[in-house]
Amino acid sequence: MTAVVEADAVRSSIEACYENGWTDGLPVVPCTQELLDAFLAQTTLAPDEIVLEMPSLGRGCTVRMAAINAAMAGCLPEYFPVVLAAWESMRNEGYTAGIWQSTTGTAPVIVVNGSVRSRLGINSRGNVFGPGFRANATIGRAIRLTVLNVFGIKPHELDQSTQGTPAKFTCVIGENQEESPWPAFHEDAGFAAEDSAATVMTLRSAIHIEARHTADAQQLLADIAGTIARTGSLMFRTNSTCLVLSPEHAHLLASQGWSKASIAKHLYDTAVLTQDELDSVGKGAISTKQHWRLASDHADAVPDDLIGSDGRLHVLSGETAVQVVVAGSSNSGVSMVLDIFDLKNPKPSTISIDRYAAEAPAQPVDHDAVDASLTELSTLLSRDGFTASWEATPQGELTFTIGPGTAECADCLVPEPILAVMIGEALKGTGARLGKVLLPSSYPDASDG
């Protein structure tokens, strides 16, 4: 009966969030102060620090606001440093301007590297763009809920996406570093393989490459270049791309001598459109000021001097406009081309996740080892009539509680500071550390503690 009453209360609190207009259409987790505090405890940032400011809207999002929305998205508190690193990457990428409101209807794609993937369960293998993984599903959703709720950029209002993309709900992928033949994506930005890092790029669309038919690297690259060079994706002069290769495709290329850099150069060289092809779709020229693609006979058109004397346009802005990430399952010749919209910098911004994390546990908590390490101390206390119990948080912070005792042998007991040192010593190697000791009033010197 109790369970039924609580279920009704849960549902009504979820409905209250709907009534307030606080959702992306899916149910959210109502956030309480207690839940917010758990998120804020995960980071060294102060609650009032700004994670992203949008001057045109006169609004800035604080760590506190980002945390409430992350909680509502269904994140666990320990995901929060990833969310914060993503915000910094977006700040660097130019998300302070109007991209959230754009008719193009883009979504941030967040690429995660390093040990954080296994620690938080961020999927990098099969169904990497799909559902089934809490961290992938909720970290991206935390960003979108913040945009809706904090910046008030809502569909049919300030968000004027003509159609949008499903990626606007969430788009977080881990790189499958373990099955990649090359150094990891974040290693190219100077991180070590196990360092945890997040990189945001601006996704317009994700286009599937079916290439199960070939074992020839040149054929595969030609298939990919043809997809990148489609006329439909050209809005401005040139494009960028993030190639998300399946492990099978990555190994096919690597085994024939291709590195990520040589792939990028080859795709730049071969993703080409001719003047005739551009003219046939009315994109053979550019507008005077913002360089939107236009037909050559448009009133605002000027010739595009990027089209060479050979009448060819390199669709990619350069070799650096190609990012290569390995993700997905090692089970087929399927890859993805992400159309990337460059906002600000020629290269994406890769941000350390560890930098945002409050002192992270060096190792996962081994609860059996914690119990074993404290048994001796517990036995000692019981001789003096005290009971001892303890509990460790997932982050390894242990609360040691001493129950009321008779304290018949007050002199036998160690003072609280020494007890704390003893507990700390005992916990070494268990992944837990002492947070606090709770003492009963009958414990000697308890009033001092």
Partner 1 sequence: MTSSTILDPTYGACAEPNNKLAPRAFPPRGLRVGLLDNGKANAETILREMTRALSTSLDVASVHVHTKDDAGLTLDDEQLVEIREQCDFVLSAMGDCGSCSAATVADGILLERAGVPAVSICTEPFRASGDVMASLYGFPGYVYLTTPHPVASLSFDELVERVTTLVPQIRHIIGIAS
Residues at the contact surface with partner 1, assessed by CB under 8 A:
5-6, 9, 13, 16-17, 20, 22, 30-34, 36, 55-59, 61, 65, 68-69, 72, 97-103, 145-146, 149-152, 156-161, 287, 289-290, 292, 294, 298-300
Evaluated on CA atoms 316, 186, 338, 126, the torsion sign reads positive
Shortest separation between residue 141's beta carbon and partner 1, angstroms: 12
Q: Smaller CB distance to partner 1: residue 58 or 132?
A: 58
Report which residue type is found at 371: D
What phi, psi does 75 have (nearest 5°)?
A: -65, 150
- CA neighbours within 13 Å on the CB side: how many for 424? 9
Q: Smaller CB distance to partner 1: residue 132 or 289?
A: 289
Q: Smaller CB distance to partner 1: residue 97 or 193?
A: 97
Measured CA to CA, the distance from residue 106 to residue 314 in angstroms comes to: 23
Shortest separation between residue 157's beta carbon and partner 1, angstroms: 4
Q: Smaller CB distance to partner 1: residue 13 or 406?
A: 13
Q: Smaller CB distance to partner 1: residue 57 or 414?
A: 57
Shortest separation between residue 49's beta carbon and partner 1, angstroms: 15
Shortest separation between residue 172's beta carbon and partner 1, angstroms: 20
Region class of 436: left (phi > 0), else alpha (psi between -120 and 50), else beta: beta
Contacts of residue 25, defined as CB under 8 A and 6 or more positions apart, other chains included, come to none
What phi, psi does 325 have (nearest 5°)?
A: -125, 145
Shortest separation between residue 78's beta carbon and partner 1, angstroms: 19
Shortest separation between residue 279's beta carbon and partner 1, angstroms: 16
Shortest separation between residue 9's beta carbon and partner 1, angstroms: 6
Q: Smaller CB distance to partner 1: residue 224 or 285?
A: 285
Q: Smaller CB distance to partner 1: residue 160 or 296?
A: 160
Q: Smaller CB distance to partner 1: residue 31 or 434?
A: 31
CB count in 10 Å sphere of residue 143: 27
Shortest separation between residue 75's beta carbon and partner 1, angstroms: 13
